[in-house]
Amino acid sequence: MRSEWVLPKGHLSYWLRQLRNRASLIAPLRVDGDIVFKSLENIHEVSLDNPALLPSPKEFLLPQQEGMFWTEGERIRPLLNKERRFIFGVRSCDVSALGLLDRFFLEGYGDPFYRERRRNTIFLSIVCNNPDPTCFCIGLGTGPYLEKGFDIQLTDLGDRYFVQAGNRQSQRLVRQWSFLFTTPRKVDYEDQYEVFLSSKARFQKRISLESVREYILAGKVRDSFWESVSERCFECGGCVYECPLCTCFTVTDRSYSFGTERVRLWDTCLFKGFTRMAGGVLPNEKRVLRTKRWYYHKLVHYPDVLGSFGCVGCGRCTVTCPGRIDMATIAIKLRDLQDNGR
Amino acid sequence: MDKILTVCPYCGCGCGLYLHVEEGRLVGVSPSRSHPVNRGSLCVKGWNAYEFVVHPDRLLKPMIREDSSGLRECSWDEALDYVAHRLAEIRDRSGPDSIGILSSAKCTNEENYLIMKFARAVIGTNNIDHCARLCHSSTVGGLAAAFGSGAMTNSISEIRDAKVLFVIGSNTTEQHPMIGMHMLDAVDRGAILIVADPRRPQIAEFAHIHLRHRPGTDVALLMGIMHVIVNEGLVDIDFVRRRTENFDAFEHVLRGFHPQAVESITGVSIEDIRRVARIYAMEKRSMLFYAMGITQHITGVDNVRACANLVMLTGHIGLPSSGINPLRGQNNVQGACDMGALPNVYSGYQTVTDPRARRKFERAWRRKLPTKPGLTVVEMTEAAYEGRLKALYITGENPLLSDPDLNHVKEAMKGLEFLVVQDIFPNETMEYADVVLPACSFAEKDGTFTNTERRVQLLTRAIEPIGDSRPDWEIIADLSGRMGYEMQYRGTYEIMEEIALLTPSYGGMLHHRLRERHGLQWPCPDVGHPGTPFLHRKKFAKGLGTFITVEFRPPAELPDEEYPFILTTGRIYFHYHTGTMCRRTAVLEREEPACYVEINPLDAERLHVRDKFPVKVSSRRGSIVVSARVTERTPEGVVFIPFHYSEAAANLLTNAALDPTVKIPEYKVCAVKVEPVMKEDRRTRPVKVVDLEDLRIT
Ligand code: SF4
Ligand code: SF4
Ligand code: SF4
């Protein structure tokens, strides 16, 4: 089955309106000075020239708060969210992150809440023509465009989009409205290639996490370095909340007069209470241990277990970290130390 | 999924955040990237601000106390009729001044305005106050007398351009995290950071100089610094001559504060005093910051005056990145003061004793208004204790945890004839309430909040009210109608229109203007005005700045043989004030579930106390048992207890000694003793120390 088309720009809003009739359509919309992901009401509010949105689209698969089940007396009613969603306008790095989230939640024990949401969500990603100053996916192969792993990928060619569908479900979405699309010609492929090249040239940050990993594994990074990093941590949790790859959550019960709800909420491993043990022991009471852990998990443990870094270079932690100790900044600091031969 | 821009309900930074709503339920929060304060960040409280809203404890229905069976649920009509009837009856019998009203720094500007209008026009008393009394009344009093305006003079976004940051008595990174973020940015850009704090807060880790003066000696420390500035000719003579008055009298007093004398009072070395004086005076873009460490003393006003004198002496005011910046605690404490929820002023600090101001409000409200300033929070407690105050109407406050010397407050509450408590959650004070009225949380109402940099921002309703709860302004307006004074507003924007008409500094603050660019900073006198990022440009609000002479007075209660430690109280990062909201937030409560006392390792060793051991802390007024946290953050001879925990309330210990001018209690210094609870042999038994590091598998 064919999986590549061209969509004239004028046809996009018609297509989006059609999609909205099938499921809820979420897109980057302009509100009060910011652009955020929310349910689409007016197609004209869609804004695609936006910096990375906060938080990442992970919020649609692992929401900040998610009901797990209700109990009333003896009865238990599981709460599975079966809403069908199209998420339009996500970035390549976020789509790359989905691949790892899937492995985390679905390999071995499958998380039913995640599975249900994942099954019912289709992501329409856009190739980044203009990466943010904070982006560094280019050193990780997680953007600015993807060869595979996407549902639907659109490349902006000026007056038209190059559309690629990565799986059968997505192909159907195009074929249902095939009259909107045309067959790609040679010039379309050329233009697409051009866009890839010019986008790659626009990155301001070039970071090799591989060399950082080697540096850490060589035992070259002293604890005093992590001390100086963790001193600046505000313990806001922002880096974990924002990161498309972080999966920490906690579970709590809310008992009302008419029943009890169990919910899971975003949490972070950067809080000392996250690993509190019986008797009140806090194995990671010192902040430096937690900061170090976060970096080790993303740079050492992830590659060992899943074969790729726990970071896709989306740059969100750079935007959100009040202490300026985000992944990119730390990687650059370590690179500088390394370059200075220390 | 919808996202609605609103303002964080916790601290005075006033961060912009989006509330996420799905099918009418709050499901999350995210930061605004374009907001000038938080710029895409939030602290942990902001990130979790959605959760408490639906907590099962929320008050859902009005309640009335039945003598036999405690509180029973009732309808709004019944509750409000009863309140109206009782208040009217007490007013007619014992006079309007037998009724007191406590407003709230958690309520919107519109609500505070209506509550103060209710007290003055409907009840006919100036007995209205709120918790700012307990945190920043010294600022309002001290800075107003010196400059004519008691607020942060600069904007938060100016911090990153400063060259010197002088932070006194503020644990900024933990209590005003987003301001702390801007400070760190400034330091990264080369600014010099000076921190003066007896404890070692996180911000001190980044300080180039950390002065650890003895608690309660701030006046001496600041005077010592100014002595050096005068002596070494670092005074901005031009500024002092042209823009200030009363310098000579001040200089005369200053002579008594020779650095040698100051060293022996404060424990800070002469060299450090000199260094700080030179660094602070010689750089032009110097910003001074202070918080509760300055204000919560019996010398609170003097401390503030000393700060004001310092900035006038060096001319560090009235320019971008140059000024004096009190960091206000509650999200709307600035607004509650601006709106005149204080016993001596109407909105915009127009005093009740000024006949012209009074006439203006009398004409607008069509009621004769009382002329005598009313009682403050702590004085109301005292009056209730003595039986002079018969009824108290409390909105969104919890005096039975927040006020000093709680055992005394309890007696006072018991003595009241009639107590109304209006809040979102049950609290300690409700135990004594005759009527409980359920109010809406920040997510269920609209209005405006004013943050610490004077930015008036719009709050947007995200969800429908939970249960039968109603926004505070609706409750007050309804009640007022039942007492024969109609308050008819179609929405909070109409209240704001009235505020704008009567309050010069809010003249241009109309809701439709505030929607753009995250609000406006007052003064904003008319609808064409763009707001004011920094104050006192070219001229002080009151004309000339006044040097007010101050003398050093030691704290009211100093340690002695029996009570050898100084207790200082405060907040911790994961919690907020009386814990009403944060202690109902799963992650925050999990992080710090129990009260503790911070104690220096050397003191701990002397007492044979180890980390996490239970200890009993007692003062002349009460005692609590808490676990010890042994840390160098607290200096020898000083212990620190957070005041959030009702089960071990630090305010059972604190001293209700008041500053003579503004009546702020001295939360930061009182004398206590610390005793281990465990038996001697268990405490001294050696334990094998296992280093967790060694066990770690990487
Ligand atoms: S670590 Fe930071 S840059 Fe990397 S994926 Fe997570 S949020 Fe993005
Ligand atoms: S975003 Fe920065 S300050 Fe916040 S928890 Fe993460 S590392 Fe710490
Ligand atoms: S810094 Fe203050 S206003 Fe900002 S998120 Fe934290 S508590 Fe809320």
Q: Which residue has the higher pLDDT, A57 or A32?
A: A57
Tokens 């004011």 appear where?
A: B532
B418 and B516 share a domain?
Answer: yes
Query: Of B144-158, B495-509, B562-576, B643-657, where does the model show the most confidence?
Result: B495-509
Please give the residue range of the domain that contains residue B274.
Answer: 137-326
Yes or no: say if B659 and B646 are a contact pair by the CB < 8 Å rule: no
For the stretch B301-322, pLDDT in tens is 888 899 999 999 898 888 888 8
Tokens 């104050």 appear where?
A: B535
Return the sign of the alpha-carbon dihedral for residues B79, B80, B86, B90. Answer: positive
SS3 assignment, position A317: helix
Nearest to B566, CA basis, from B665, B630, B655 = B655
A144 and A215 share a domain?
Answer: no
Residue B506 DSSP one-character state: G
Nearest to A162, CA basis, from A146, A148, A183 = A183
B502 and B387 share a domain?
Answer: yes
Q: Which residue has the higher pLDDT, B578 or B273?
A: B273
**What is the DSSP pairing of strand B99-102 with strand B128-129?**
parallel
B315 in a structural domain: yes
State the Cα–Cα distance between residues B501 and B527, nearest whole angstrom.
Answer: 11
A33 in a structural domain: yes
Q: Give B45's contacts (C-beta < 8 A, 6+ positions apart).
A: B8, B10, B11, B574, B576, B582, B588
**A283 pLDDT exceeds 60?**
yes
Q: What is the mean pLDDT of chain A?
A: 89
SS3 assignment, position A274: helix
Give the CATH number for residue B592: 2.40.40.20
- In chain A, DSSP finds a helix count (H) and a strand count (E) of 12, 11
B467 and B358 share a domain?
Answer: yes
A169 and A131 share a domain?
Answer: yes
What is the tally of structural domains in chain B? 3
**B184 pLDDT exceeds 90?**
yes
**B697 pLDDT exceeds 60?**
no
The CA-to-CA distance between both ends of chain A, in Å, stands at: 55
State the Cα–Cα distance between residues B550 and B542, nearest whole angstrom.
Answer: 20
Provide the H-helix boundaries in chain A.
12-22, 92-106, 112-119, 168-175, 186-201, 209-217, 223-230, 238-242, 287-296, 302-306, 316-320, 327-339
Give the pLDDT of residue B694: 67
Categorize the per-residue pLDDT at B468 as very low, low, confident or very high, splitting at 50, 70 and 90.
very high
Residue B247 distance to chain A (closest CA, Å): 41
B620 and B653 share a domain?
Answer: yes
**B408 pLDDT exceeds 90?**
no
Write the DSSP assignment of B541-608 as a string of letters: TTBSEE---------SS---SSS-EEEEEE--TT--TT-TTGGGSHHHHHHS-S-EEEE-HHHHHHTT
Encoded tokens for B547: 């040097």
State the Cα–Cα distance between residues B311 and B74, nearest whole angstrom.
Answer: 56
A167 and A236 share a domain?
Answer: no
A222 and A293 share a domain?
Answer: yes
**Cβ of A273 under 8 Å from any chain B Cβ?**
yes
Please give the residue range of the domain that contains residue A138.
Answer: 4-61+81-201
Question: What is the pTM for the complete model shown?
Answer: 0.90
Task: From A201, A231, A255, give the residue that closes a domain.
Answer: A201
When CB atoms are compared, the residue of B586, B593, B698 closest to A252 is B586
The residue whose C-alpha atom lies closest to atom 4 belonging to ligand 2 is A236
| Count of CB atoms situated within 10 Å of the CB of A42 | 7
Q: Using alpha carbons, list the distances in angstroms from residue A114 to A220, A312, B27, B206, B482.
A: 39, 20, 16, 42, 53
State the Cα–Cα distance between residues B306 and B143, nearest whole angstrom.
Answer: 10
State the Cα–Cα distance between residues B681 and B626, nearest whole angstrom.
Answer: 20
B451 and B432 share a domain?
Answer: yes
Give the pLDDT of residue B411: 87
For the stretch B208-254, pLDDT in tens is 999 999 888 888 999 999 999 999 988 988 888 888 888 888 888 88
Encoded tokens for B127: 């007995």
Q: What is the mean pLDDT of chain B?
A: 88
Which ligand is closest to the CA of B11, given by its number? 3
Residue A167 DSSP one-character state: S
For the stretch B417-427, pLDDT in tens is 999 999 999 88
Write the DSSP assignment of B134-171 as a string of letters: HHTHHHHHHHHHHHS--S-SS-GGGGGG-SEEEEES--
B290 and B416 share a domain?
Answer: no
State the Cα–Cα distance between residues B70 and B403, nearest whole angstrom.
Answer: 25
User: What dihedral do alpha carbons A136, A140, A144, A148 form, nearest 10°?
Assistant: -160
For the stretch B20-77, pLDDT in tens is 998 888 889 999 998 999 999 999 999 999 888 888 888 999 999 987 668 899 999 9
What percentage of chain B carries pLDDT values higher than 90? 37
State the Cα–Cα distance between residues B398 and B102, nearest whole angstrom.
Answer: 10
Section B642-652 average pLDDT: 82
Task: From A142, A177, A201, give the residue that closes a domain.
Answer: A201
For the stretch A117-153, pLDDT in tens is 999 999 999 998 888 899 999 888 887 888 888 999 9
Categorize the per-residue pLDDT at B686 as very low, low, confident or very high, splitting at 50, 70 and 90.
low
Q: Which residue has the higher pLDDT, A242 or B402?
A: A242
Which residue(s) pair with A8 in the sheet? A160
Q: Which of the residue ranges A189-198, B291-300, B438-447 would you say has the lowest mean pLDDT?
A: B291-300
For chain B, the helix, strand and coil percentages under 3-state DSSP, each to the nearest 5: 40, 20, 40
Section A59-83 average pLDDT: 90
Q: Which of the residue ranges B346-355, B506-515, B679-688 would you say has the lowest mean pLDDT?
A: B679-688
| Residue of A54, A232, A233, A333 with the most ligand 2 atoms within 8 Å of its CB, for mutation | A233
Give the pLDDT of residue B687: 63
What is the tally of structural domains in chain A? 2
State the Cα–Cα distance between residues A73 and A78, nearest whole angstrom.
Answer: 14
Encoded tokens for B391: 């009824």
Phi and psi at residue B665, to the nearest 5° = -80, 155
A163 in a structural domain: yes
Residue B693 distance to chain A (closest CA, Å): 9
Residue B668 DSSP one-character state: S
Which ligand is closest to the CA of B328, given by its number? 3
**Cβ of B587 under 8 Å from any chain A Cβ?**
yes
For residue A267, list chain B residues with Cβ-Cβ distance below 8 A: 587
A331 in a structural domain: yes
Yes or no: say if B29 and B47 are a contact pair by the CB < 8 Å rule: yes
B550 in a structural domain: no
Give the pLDDT of residue B690: 65
Asked if B586 lies within 8 A of A276 by C-beta distance, the reply is: no
A72 in a structural domain: no
Tokens 């920043």 appear where?
A: B136
Q: Which of the residue ranges A259-263, B137-141, B325-329, B609-613 would you say has the lowest mean pLDDT?
A: B137-141
A289 in a structural domain: yes
**B193 pLDDT exceeds 60?**
yes
When CB atoms are compared, the residue of A26, A254, A257 closest to B55 is A254
State the Cα–Cα distance between residues B464 and B443, nearest whole angstrom.
Answer: 8
**A342 pLDDT exceeds 60?**
no
Q: Is the ipTM of this complex over 0.90?
A: yes
Nearest to B582, CA basis, from B644, B652, B641, B626 = B644
B99 and B164 share a domain?
Answer: no
Which residue(s) pair with B448 in the sheet? B458
A105 and A155 share a domain?
Answer: yes
**B692 pLDDT exceeds 70?**
no
For the stretch B6-21, pLDDT in tens is 999 988 899 999 999 9
Q: CB burial class (10 A; 0-12, 13-18, 19+) of residue B515? A: middle
For the stretch B244-287, pLDDT in tens is 888 888 888 888 888 898 899 999 999 999 999 999 998 889 99
